[in-house]
C-alpha cells in the first residue's frame, strides 16, 4: 500500500532556481565559444564529483574549467576573465516554486532542500534570502555523498525525521527521480512552468 507523503524534498537548480541561458551565452560568444561550453565543461563528471562531495571548493572547481578552456580562448588570463564574467549571473528564484515550498511548510509538513552543490552553497541561499525557507538542507558537499545515491536520500530524509516512504522528491532530472524511487521515496519530475498541482495533491494541500 502506497503511503501519502508527509514531507517534501525539493531540488534547487532547475526547480527553485532558474537560469536564462542567453545571459551567459552572450559572454561565451564574446570569447569565441559555443553557448553552453562553460557549463558542459564544468559538469564533466570527473571534474564535478570532487566539487559536490566537499573535496574541492567552488573556486578550485571553476579554476579547472578555466585551465581546460584556456587554449581555446586565448590563454590563461583570458580564461580567468571568462570565468569571472560567467559566474556573475546568479540566476533567479522561481516565485511559484517558492510559494509551493511555503504552502507545504504552512501545512505543517517539513521541507528539505536537496541539492548537489559545493561547500559554499549556504552562502548562495543567504544571498537570495532563502536561509530560513527550509527545515533542513541536504547539501551533498556537507554529506560527502551526492544525489542520486541511496545513502544521500537516506541522509536527506533523516534530516527532517521522515522515513523515505513518506517523503516526496520534486526534481527536474530523470536520474534523480529514478534514484529516489530506488531509495523508497515518491518522486515527481518537475518541468519549467509546471503548476505543481500533482505534488500539491500528493501532499494533501
Q: What is the DSSP string of 80-128?
A: HHHHHHHTT---EE-HHHHHHHHHHHHTT--EEEEE---TTHHHHHHHT
Tell me the sheet residues that pair with 17.
13, 93
- pLDDT, one tens digit per residue, over 141-172 is 999 999 999 999 999 999 999 999 999 999 99
pTM recorded for the entire structure:
0.90
SS3 of residue 35 by DSSP? coil
* Average pLDDT of the residues of the chain: 93
% of the chain surpassing 70 pLDDT: 99
Specify whether the backbone of 75 is left (phi greater than 0), alpha (psi in -120 to 50) or beta: left
Amino acid at each position: 500500500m502506497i503511503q501519502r507523503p508527509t514531507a517534501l524534498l525539493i531540488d534547487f537548480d532547475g526547480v527553485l532556481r532558474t537560469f536564462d541561458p542567453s545571459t551567459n551565452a552572450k559572454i561565451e560568444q564574446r570569447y569565441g565559444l559555443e553557448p553552453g561550453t562553460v557549463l558542459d565543461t564544468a559538469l564533466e563528471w570527473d571534474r564535478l564529483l570532487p566539487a559536490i562531495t566537499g573535496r574541492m571548493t567552488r573556486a578550485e572547481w571553476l579554476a579547472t574549467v578555466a585551465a581546460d578552456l584556456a587554449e581555446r580562448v586565448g590563454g590563461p588570463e583570458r580564461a580567468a576573465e571568462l570565468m569571472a564574467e560567467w559566474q556573475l549571473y546568479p540566476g533567479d528564484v522561481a516565485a511559484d516554486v517558492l510559494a509551493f515550498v511555503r504552502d507545504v511548510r504552512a501545512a505543517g509538513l517539513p521541507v528539505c532542500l536537496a541539492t548537489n552543490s559545493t561547500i559554499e552553497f549556504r552562502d548562495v541561499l543567504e544571498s537570495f534570502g532563502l536561509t530560513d525557507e527550509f527545515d533542513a538542507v541536504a547539501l551533498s558537499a556537507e554529506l560527502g555523498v551526492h544525489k542520486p545515491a541511496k545513502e544521500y536520500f537516506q541522509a536527506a530524509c533523516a534530516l527532517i525525521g521522515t522515513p523515505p516512504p513518506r517523503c516526496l522528491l520534486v526534481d527536474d532530472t530523470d536520474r534523480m527521480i529514478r534514484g529516489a524511487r530506488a531509495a523508497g521515496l515518491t518522486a515527481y519530475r518537475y518541468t519549467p512552468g509546471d503548476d505543481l498541482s500533482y505534488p500539491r495533491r500528493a501532499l494533501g494541500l
